Chain A
Amino acid sequence: MENSVRIKIGLASCGIAAGGLDVLEKVEIFLKEHDVNAQLDHTGCIGMCYAEVLMEIEDNEFGNTMYGYLNAADIDDILNAHFIEKKPLTEHIVFSDKLGGEEKQILDYQTRIVLRNCGVIDPESIDEYIERGGYEALKDVLKDMSPIEVIEEIKESGLRGRGGAGFPTGLKWQFAYNNYADKKYVICNADEGDPGAFMDRSVLEGDPHSILEGILISAYAIGSDEGFVYCRAEYPLAVKRLRIAIEKAKEKGFLGSNIMGSDFNFDLTVYEGAGAFVCGEETALMKSIEGKRGMPTLRPPYPAESGLWGKPTNINNVETLSNVSWIIRNGAEKYAEFGTENSKGTKVFALTGKIKNGGLVEVPMGMTLRDVIYKIGGGIIEDRKFKAVQLGGPSGGCIPESLLDTTVDYDSLTKTGAIMGSGGMVVMDETTCMVDMARFFLNFTQDESCGKCTFCRIGTKRMLEILNRITQGKGKPGDIEKLEGLSHKIIKGSLCGLGQTAPNPVLTTIKYFRDEYEAHINDKICPAGVCKDLIKYLIIEDKCIGCGACKLACPVDAIIGEKKEVHTIDQDICTKCGACMTACKFDAVEKL
């Protein structure tokens, strides 16, 4: 491998969205024109979505060099400097073995089990997966382990479901194993629907075989010969890569009959969801595969007893399954070294919101939120004041600054009123209105309710109406109590997780930011200055020089005033878009 050069470009959805395909084209042209002998590969998301497009060059000269924040226009210069002039442009380097760049710490703080191959291998190549030890676990399992031994191993690892509820995975398998039936199914839940969550997508796009291997092992363990990946149709790239992976695995004999020469048979189908959030709920998901309306059903019977088409069914989510082969290969004990007493292993979070380094991070359970946000995430944009972090998406809750030292594990997070959930982590700063935030999430869940349970269908609607009223300055005394009353009944009186958790954002914001609610209701003020009906823009007489910039900027002609005279805003016309504030160079527009 004397002169071998390899270039990898991040082409997960985040990379493509940032212009990855243009970069790829430029690189291809450059290599051709300059006759550089390099292997050009696609890879998945390494997690540093904020720094996309990312391009990693491996060569003998400089070792590994990761260029970031790229766009197509930079490519010629960068490659020219790197390959021709041999003087790499260090300002484009994010991190490297030999050339500086400091952002590697973002990766250094992480423990990458689930994301072990993401951004490293070409997701469309089964060989690269195999090269890194892929399908070894399956081989071991089929050769040396009985189903019960597999289940015991998973139990021992302490792996808990990463889909939200955190149910012990081994136990779930055990239940499905225990039920005798002529047919059993396994399902991989890839219907990642939480706003702000994209870890499953990244794994699907970046390392699909790790999921396949996990599914195969779970199927072997429970005694199933048929499975489905239920993937949301909004993830076309993930669906495509899954299908490629299935094809390749079939070619290799990892799927189909007599897998790896054993008497284990297994077929896997990708089923695309139709965009209903509630289909992420396992019973609704199964109804959807059956071709019925995705509506949750009563439990018991649990899927392990009577699931898809009434047969025992094991259902795990993407992240859970991608842990499986790692556990088998490295041993339960090794896995259990990570994490806390009741929460073993790592957890992937999608870090978004007002955070500097937004992206995907995988940390060992037990790290504090503060470390995740500040050490890995780099803190708040523009170094503003941290206000809260919303965990678990619309089913979760917010955690205020006072609880930032909470560790990420199932029990500690639940104590705060938030949940681990699927791993969405939305960071909010002082410019976020907590009432508006709660309203946003509730609006989402209320829209996505399947409409079956009374409390969820109508209760969340009525809550939303109250929140709307509050943010419009029409809140009434007693509204907070009404919200709390509805919340408690909705939580206790709903069949599925959607309803049982929908009020969480409201309840936690009331718990930690009650004063903000009261300010909206009693004083008709939005302290964060977000709720349009509660703010107004004013021109400060002393500062206005009458330049007319604001008048020009105003889209609704709400500003009056002659040149060189103090301007005023007609509040009746003003739509509170804030254009005047942006336009004013003299800080003469203030927001109240």
Chain B
Amino acid sequence: MADIKILLNGKEVTVREGQTILEVATEYGIEIPTLCHDEYLKPYGSCWACLVEVKGAKGFVPSCATKVYEGMEVDTDSEEVRAARQMALELLLSDHYADCTAPCILECPAHVDVQGYIALINDGLYHEAVKLIKERLPLPLSVGRICPAFCEKECRRQIIDEPIAIRQIKRYAADKDLEDSANTYIPECKPSTGKEIAIIGAGPAGLTVAYYLAQQGHKCKIYEAMPESGGMLRYGIPEYRLPKEILDKEIDLIKKLGVKIHNNEQLGRDFTIQFLYKEYDAVFLGFGAWTAVSMNIDGEDLKGCHLGIDFLRDVVDGKITKVGKKVAVIGGGNTAIDAARTALRLGAEKVMIVYRRAEEQMPADEVEVIDAKEEGIEFHLLQNPTKIIGKDGKVEGMQIIKMRLGEPDSSGRRRPVPIENSEFIMQVDTVIPAVSQKPDTQFLLDEIAKINGKNLNLTRWSTIEVDEDTMCTNIDKIFAGGDLTRGPSTVIECVADAYKAAKSIDSFLKGEKIKPTKEKFNSKKAESYKDLDPEDFKEYEKASRISSGHLDVKDRISNSKEVEKVFTNKQVHDETARCIECGCDVNPTCVLRKYATDYDVIATRFVGEVNNHPIDKTHPFILRDPNKCVNCGRCVRTCLEIQGVGALGYIYRGFKTLVAPEFDESLMNTSCLSCGKCIDVCPVGALTPRNTQYKLAPLDYEEIQTTCALCGAGCSVTYMKKDDIILKAEATDSPITGNNVCFNAHFGYEVLQSQERITQPMIRKENQLQPVDWEEAMDYVTDKLTELERDVAFFSNGNYTNEDLYLISKLAKQYKNNKKYSWELNGSVIKDKLDINFSPNPSADLNHADIIVLIGDVTHTVGVKIMQALNNGAKLMLIHPGEDRFARRADFNITTNYYIEVINEFAKYLVEYRHHNIDYIARYVGNFVDFNHQLQHTIQTGEFMDFAHELLSFKKVIFVYSESDLDYDTQNAIFNLSMLRGDIGTEGNGIVSCSELANKPSLLENGFVPVKNYQKLKSAAIFGEDPLYNNKMEIYEWLNSLEFLLVADSFMTETAKMAHVVLPLNSFIESEGTITNDNNVLQTVTEVRNTVTGKENWYLLKDLLGLDSTLEEISEDANREFNSDERVESRYIPSEEETQKIELSFTHKPSIARAAIELNATRKKILDFKEKMLGKK
């Protein structure tokens, strides 16, 4: 293509003719958003996110579809363009009835990924869950016990029944993580930056800042005024809610990051702020709000009167060990309740809470109020003390006035108003006013606290003034957060502040500009669950919230034991299963969300009717949420044009237009192949994978790319996993297979992760297979193999790596007859006649053919390549026994069971009408005259003459079939025909053969042959084959007669059940090595998850061989032996040698030409699983 010049955003650039604006922009590093563009599909132009301005064009131009021309002037980023893109996105989002992020996460002040950890806990991944929690909250052991759980208040589950018990679930995971101390999650710290931070206060805020900054490699020193650390967690929260032992462990985990805590050192008393400013690179102030606010009434100085927070602290410190008999606590907050319950535990006979408003207005947690009531604490509501009465300097009673509720105040709560003349006296001997706290910050106003002539700015509530987005104070280097800046609040809010502060401090220390993190765009179904229609949730069955239960009252009020019990395993599983997964599964990767964020979209700009469709959960593998669809049509086009299925389409018109199966039916009622390709191309979360075993969530998964070893295509696939569990899969772009996978790679991994896998060796003892350890098994097998002087025949299927097959072959070589068979090998005419192990034409040749003749079934990926060729203009002749997905695309459709007759008839007319390649035949065919005689005299039907004539009119013809599907004779007939054409192996002409065997070339190279005369074999070692799967009596009898039978497989097959010894094998997702695909391309298999057998396959084989090599060495040997350099995409090239002629053999056998495929257990299990889940079995 010629180079041309265009003006791109005012700059002249050289581009190639034929490129689109989008391609050019990408090349020059300009990002243009697009939702509907897919490089594997023709430009479509529906989303208009990619619009640009081209000088002279009438309107905007979709850059995905517009080709450049000489002198074109393009503007990709003008104000007009940005505004239009923003509008397109806003319009899309105005009809997007969906949540990006679950409300629980948004409601949590620290935005802990609740949905994520609930899923991980449900999947049994406690350490992963805690790791996720600790990305935002370093104190799950504590917060899991005492948090008021903002998350639960907006939990959507309560539309159905009750909110999820999120706090307790979190606590459970944190406890579990701690329990399994060897694996307790401790984050890694970056190398030291040499920077040091002073943190004042070892409470929730200070500990949080230290936790995050230490991970960044900064040295953190915490100064704590109190003798013990934890701040309010220790001194404000009673033991029965948060055992101090737990708190200590939580603080220890933070200390493990190298954080140093200096206790008994108080700012303003032991050192000055100037000192900190001078000595440290940054300072974080988080010393809380510790000064109890008194009620300013008479008698507060009497003995027996303690201010709330002082009281709790003194109890922890041991300064108070008992209280009077009748205790009154004043206030309605958590501190008041804590004080009351603590007083009870210190032996008070009667504890009363006196609160000036009604219960409805009480700020304390509902749960705490309930617990307190259970424990017998009396609530005196709408009462307020006016003075404390004393005798002999000791409290004797209180004068109380009754109140009523008046007009709402600025906080929206109804104001308490005293009722005149309603005073009465209450007899008490202890009074604990617990009305409020504030920080002690007055010392910061002193001259001595000045830095560069400035004091820190305080608010009128004595808190430190900060920028709430960055936690910066008015003095550089000094940051603050927690109760110190917000006044008394919750732990989780302080943690949220501290997280922000840590980010700012880190930026500051790195010399970056401190700016608030740009929040990602969040689409919301509604602001609150209350605004949602319960109808939308009717699909969920009701299931009550599970309670872990509390200690009985009698067992708890006389001591400080933790009141709340812990979930059992089952309880936590059931409770996490209740989560309805509000947040979108793809929110980390959603393109719409990214663009909405980039373009500062305001979702409420265009408010109007919103399409609301039921979510289609009928398909076991594909979840379809039409509400998230942006009508980009990528799934529709991919399904029809690439997969050739057309399960999805557009229905309705106008605003109601919807991508759906026809008649808006379930995806199950379509011809869907469950290949999952629609999921891969969906730019949003309208189509997402489902997992039948595990709960999925929008998480950052670990991604590992490998080559699928379940058929000969060798598709590149990326598995997404957490810990050692694969949860999702996706096709990866690959030059060999394009961007494609089928069901097997996309969902089949579930089978490989199932409980059905065998993981332990077994030896037959007393006619029973019994599990043994590896040592015993290896000794047994080695002995047996050595002991057997006679031959042992080796069997293997093609789904193992080059290395594994090489080693099995090496094992076989130890016996003089060196017998190597594969039940799966059908016999390959190509191998026999042309002496090559791969397809004579690479599958890429399909794209060069004028007509493709497809005989029978082929592998999914070859099918996709055929579709692509058809899209590019090739014609299709289909020879098939019935309807299949190619039928509608076929230009010539031959429905028959007898392929061989059709092919032979084609051959007859080819010669009869002189379309055969006489020169080629003379040069390469040895017996043409005989062959032709047979051909012309045997074939007489004439039934397919018209098709033959059509076929003769095309120049370039490719025959495609699968060696796993066609019997030997049919393959042979096709070979004959192709030889007569004399163009086998040339571009666009010849044969593309594929196979269900992932590594057939290697199997053949290693000398494995189709099984014959097996009845004569006396001992067998079968790797990954199940000859008994279709219950043939003669095979059973043979197996039964064997002197020795070793079966190595991933599943307990019928054959394995007959073995003397069974060795567990890893599947390809647990293997490392190389494989060679149908086109002779060497590819890498990567270990996605750890071995499930405890011994990698190659390691096991190496041990059997008594070798001491590494995998690299084996790989080198295996591939050297078979010229790995030549393992690239190959085609058949006829030999130059004069003497080499090929004998054609005529066969004419009108039989049903479909081979019985000897499925190996893995593929069979996957097929069974698919059919079972889809309800076909």
Residue numbers of A with Cβ under 8 A of B are 276, 278, 293, 295, 298, 300, 310, 446-455, 457-462, 465, 485-486, 489, 491-495, 500
A453 to B609, CA, bound (A): 18
Please name all residues of chain B whose beta carbon is closer than 8 Å to the beta carbon of A485 when the two chains form the complex: 87
Closest to A485 in B: B87
A293 to B87, CA, bound (A): 27
A260 to B95, CA, bound (A): 59
* Contact status B51-A451, CB under 8 Å: no
A295, A455, A461: which contacts B650 (Cβ < 8 A)? A295
* Contact status A454-B91, CB under 8 Å: yes
Please name all residues of chain A whose beta carbon is closer than 8 Å to the beta carbon of B91 when the two chains form the complex: 454-455, 458-459, 462
* Contact status A451-B631, CB under 8 Å: yes
Please name all residues of chain B whose beta carbon is closer than 8 Å to the beta carbon of A276 when the two chains form the complex: 653
Within 8 Å of chain A (Cβ to Cβ): is B46? Answer: yes
Taking the nearest CB of chain B, how far is it from the CB of A485, in angstroms?
8
Given contacts A451-B657, A493-B48, contact A461 B608 (CB under 8 A): yes
* Contact status B655-A449, CB under 8 Å: yes
Please name all residues of chain B whose beta carbon is closer than 8 Å to the beta carbon of A458 when the two chains form the complex: 91-92, 94-95, 606, 655
**Nearest 9 CB-CB pairs, A to B?**
A451-B657, A492-B59, A458-B91, A461-B655, A465-B608, A452-B46, A447-B654, A462-B606, A492-B60
Interface string of B860-886 (1 = CB under 8 A from A): 000000000000010000000000000
Interface string of B243-276 (1 = CB under 8 A from A): 0000000000000000000000000000000000
Please name all residues of chain A whose beta carbon is closer than 8 Å to the beta carbon of B609 when the two chains form the complex: 461, 465
B62, B631, B652: which contacts A298 (Cβ < 8 A)? B62
Please name all residues of chain B whose beta carbon is closer than 8 Å to the beta carbon of A462 when the two chains form the complex: 91, 94, 606, 608
Sample of 14 more A-B contacts, CB < 8 Å, known A453-B48, A492-B59: A449-B654, A449-B657, A450-B653, A451-B652, A451-B653, A452-B46, A453-B46, A454-B47, A457-B654, A457-B657, A465-B609, A489-B87, A492-B51, A492-B58
A489 to B81, CA, bound (A): 10
Within 8 Å of chain A (Cβ to Cβ): is B88? Answer: yes
Given contacts A450-B657, A493-B84, contact A457 B631 (CB under 8 A): yes
* Contact status A457-B87, CB under 8 Å: no
Taking the nearest CB of chain A, how far is it from the CB of B349, in angstroms?
65
Closest to A461 in B: B655
A486 to B87, CA, bound (A): 8
B44, B88, B649, B653: which contacts A455 (Cβ < 8 A)? B88
Closest to A468 in B: B608
Taking the nearest CB of chain A, how far is it from the CB of B673, in angstroms?
21
Of the listed residues A276, A310, A460, A461, the one surrounded by the most CB atoms of chain B closer than 10 A to its CB is A461
Closest to B91 in A: A458
Please name all residues of chain B whose beta carbon is closer than 8 Å to the beta carbon of A447 when the two chains form the complex: 653-654
Please name all residues of chain A whose beta carbon is closer than 8 Å to the beta carbon of B606 when the two chains form the complex: 458, 462
Interface size on B, residues (CB 8 A): 37
28 CB-based A-B contacts, threshold 8 Å: A449-B654, A450-B653, A451-B656, A451-B657, A452-B631, A452-B633, A453-B45, A454-B46, A454-B49, A454-B88, A454-B91, A454-B630, A455-B48, A455-B87, A455-B88, A457-B655, A458-B94, A458-B655, A460-B654, A461-B609, A462-B94, A462-B606, A489-B87, A492-B51, A492-B60, A492-B84, A493-B51, A494-B59
A459 to B48, CA, bound (A): 12
Within 8 Å of chain A (Cβ to Cβ): is B43? Answer: yes
Interface residues of A: mostly helix, strand, loop or mixed?
Answer: helix
* Contact status A491-B94, CB under 8 Å: no
* Contact status A495-B654, CB under 8 Å: no
Taking the nearest CB of chain A, how far is it from the CB of B645, in angstroms?
15
Within 8 Å of chain A (Cβ to Cβ): is B725? Answer: no
Of the listed residues A451, A459, A462, the one surrounded by the most CB atoms of chain B closer than 10 A to its CB is A451
Of the listed residues B45, B46, B49, B653, the one surrounded by the most CB atoms of chain A closer than 10 A to its CB is B653
Please name all residues of chain A whose beta carbon is closer than 8 Å to the beta carbon of B47 when the two chains form the complex: 454
A96 to B657, CA, bound (A): 54
Of the listed residues A451, A458, A462, the one surrounded by the most CB atoms of chain B closer than 10 A to its CB is A458
A300 to B42, CA, bound (A): 12
Please name all residues of chain B whose beta carbon is closer than 8 Å to the beta carbon of A494 when the two chains form the complex: 59
Within 8 Å of chain A (Cβ to Cβ): is B65? Answer: yes
Closest to B49 in A: A454
Those of B48-63 within 8 Å (CB) of chain A: 48-49, 51, 58-60, 62
Those of B397-437 within 8 Å (CB) of chain A: none
Given contacts A461-B608, A492-B59, A493-B59, contact A446 B92 (CB under 8 A): no
A500 to B59, CA, bound (A): 9
Taking the nearest CB of chain A, how far is it from the CB of B1142, in angstroms?
37
A460, A495, A500: which contacts B45 (Cβ < 8 A)? A495
Please name all residues of chain B whose beta carbon is closer than 8 Å to the beta carbon of A446 when the two chains form the complex: 654-655
* Contact status A293-B649, CB under 8 Å: yes
Please name all residues of chain B whose beta carbon is closer than 8 Å to the beta carbon of A461 when the two chains form the complex: 95, 608-609, 654-655
Please name all residues of chain B whose beta carbon is closer than 8 Å to the beta carbon of A310 when the two chains form the complex: 873
Closest to A294 in B: B653
A276 to B655, CA, bound (A): 14
Please name all residues of chain B whose beta carbon is closer than 8 Å to the beta carbon of A454 when the two chains form the complex: 46-49, 88, 91-92, 630-631
Of the listed residues A298, A454, A486, the one surrounded by the most CB atoms of chain B closer than 10 A to its CB is A454
Please name all residues of chain B whose beta carbon is closer than 8 Å to the beta carbon of A293 when the two chains form the complex: 649-650
B46, B62, B65, B84: which contacts A489 (Cβ < 8 A)? B84
A494 to B87, CA, bound (A): 13
Please name all residues of chain A whose beta carbon is closer than 8 Å to the beta carbon of B59 when the two chains form the complex: 491-494, 500
Those of B87-128 within 8 Å (CB) of chain A: 87-88, 91-92, 94-95
Of the listed residues B44, B45, B652, the one surrounded by the most CB atoms of chain A closer than 10 A to its CB is B45
* Contact status A451-B62, CB under 8 Å: no
Of the listed residues B59, B67, B95, the one surrounded by the most CB atoms of chain A closer than 10 A to its CB is B59
Taking the nearest CB of chain A, how far is it from the CB of B403, in angstroms?
44
A461 to B606, CA, bound (A): 10
A65 to B675, CA, bound (A): 74
A462 to B604, CA, bound (A): 12
Interface string of B67-92 (1 = CB under 8 A from A): 10000000000000000100110011
Interface string of B702-740 (1 = CB under 8 A from A): 000000000000000000000000000000000000000
Closest to A494 in B: B59
Of the listed residues B51, B95, B608, B658, the one surrounded by the most CB atoms of chain A closer than 10 A to its CB is B608
A451 to B87, CA, bound (A): 17
A89 to B43, CA, bound (A): 68
A455 to B92, CA, bound (A): 9
Please name all residues of chain B whose beta carbon is closer than 8 Å to the beta carbon of A465 when the two chains form the complex: 608-609
Please name all residues of chain B whose beta carbon is closer than 8 Å to the beta carbon of A295 when the two chains form the complex: 650
A300, A448, A489, A493: which contacts B654 (Cβ < 8 A)? A448
Taking the nearest CB of chain A, how far is it from the CB of B32, in angstroms?
14
A361 to B608, CA, bound (A): 42
Please name all residues of chain A whose beta carbon is closer than 8 Å to the beta carbon of B655 when the two chains form the complex: 446, 449, 451, 457-458, 460-461
Those of B10-69 within 8 Å (CB) of chain A: 43-49, 51, 58-60, 62, 65, 67
* Contact status B43-A298, CB under 8 Å: yes
A493 to B90, CA, bound (A): 14
Please name all residues of chain B whose beta carbon is closer than 8 Å to the beta carbon of A453 when the two chains form the complex: 45-46, 48
A446 to B95, CA, bound (A): 15
A492 to B58, CA, bound (A): 7
Taking the nearest CB of chain B, how far is it from the CB of A579, in angstroms?
32
A448 to B654, CA, bound (A): 5
Of the listed residues B46, B60, B67, the one surrounded by the most CB atoms of chain A closer than 10 A to its CB is B46
Closest to A491 in B: B59
Please name all residues of chain A whose beta carbon is closer than 8 Å to the beta carbon of B630 when the two chains form the complex: 454
Closest to B608 in A: A465
A462 to B608, CA, bound (A): 6
A295 to B652, CA, bound (A): 12
Please name all residues of chain A whose beta carbon is closer than 8 Å to the beta carbon of B65 when the two chains form the complex: 298
Taking the nearest CB of chain B, how far is it from the CB of A245, in angstroms?
32
Closest to A492 in B: B59
Taking the nearest CB of chain A, how far is it from the CB of B1036, in angstroms?
53
Please name all residues of chain B whose beta carbon is closer than 8 Å to the beta carbon of A460 when the two chains form the complex: 654-655
Please name all residues of chain B whose beta carbon is closer than 8 Å to the beta carbon of A492 when the two chains form the complex: 51, 58-60, 84
* Contact status A451-B608, CB under 8 Å: no
